Amino acid sequence: MEAAERVAEAERLLAAGRAAEAIAACREALSIDPDSLAAHVCMARAKLPGEDFLAYLRRFHEALRPGVYLEIGVDAGRTLSLARPPTKAIGVDPTAREGHAFDAETRLFPLESDVFFASGAADSELSGRPVDIAFVDGLHLFEQALRDFIHVERRCAPDSVVLFHDCLPLDAATASRQRRTGFWTGDVWKIVPILQNRRPDLTVFLVPAYPTGLLVVTRLDPSSDRLERDLDAIVAEWTPRKWSGGPEDPPLPIVPNDWPSVLERTRPGA
């Protein structure tokens, strides 16, 4: 009950605009109950005010009007359903469920993403068309997110946009490789410094959108094979790394949660 009381106080503080105090109260609640979903959610809302990631996905669809939208990690179809005609939407998820009503022409592939690309299903479905926007929200492990990016970039155009969920850690517990909490991002955050260091030709920035950030990657090079060539070395280097929430963590390229400036950053040449 004490943890719940601290969460209730945190929510009151947040409603009053006292975000820093709300975060402190959430931390007190988590010290009592490390798996308090309500405390994690309240902390995320306090740390990440402004438009959430769903609003950004909707805005990207409206502004860029992709011919092809590819989503890895469909879950219940909430994000995939944001695509609108004449976009062709492709959803890849081994647990993808039929029955959701989609406005855009939508194809669901109940496959693991590695199988989707290796089997030829991706190239057959695309029929030579580039992926204009991709949203990667699959397994919460950085090496899978990295493999997904390698496959996706190869099928993009230079001015395509690739988006990643779960790249802004809330705390060390929720940013671990092993899931111990209901609110969990895993170690997908590692994709950010990896792309910055291994592919400086890319434009990589992180929008602090609730609940776990939205990473934007532009200036793609479908011909690049550098990440694929270095994949084993990258995985060996980064697998042991942990998020601590301290100054030793790699700095993340966080930009303001402001749609006009985010859109401007995605323009060719930005």
- The top-level CATH class assigned to 53-266 is alpha beta
Is residue 1 pLDDT above 80, yes or no? no
> How many angstroms separate the CA atoms of 67 and 157, rounded?
12
Q: What is the pLDDT of residue 189?
A: 97
Q: What is the pLDDT of residue 269?
A: 65
Q: What is the pLDDT of residue 101?
A: 79
Whole-prediction pTM: 0.95
Residue 177's pLDDT band, with cuts at 50, 70 and 90, is: very high
| Residue 28 burial (10 A CB sphere; 0-12, 13-18, 19+) | middle
Average pLDDT, the chain: 95
| Domain range summary for the chain, segments of one domain joined by + | 2-47, 53-266
Using an 8 Å Cβ cutoff, are 149 and 139 in contact?
A: no
**Listed residue (109, 69, 135) closest to 117, CA to CA:** 109
**Listed residue (153, 202, 161) closest to 66, CA to CA:** 161
Q: What is the pLDDT of residue 245?
A: 87
Q: What is the pLDDT of residue 270?
A: 65
> How many angstroms separate the CA atoms of 168 and 215, rounded?
8
> How many angstroms separate the CA atoms of 162 and 166, rounded?
14
- % of the chain beyond a pLDDT of 70: 98
- Per-residue pLDDT of 114-151, as tens digits, reads 999 999 999 999 999 999 999 999 999 999 999 999 99
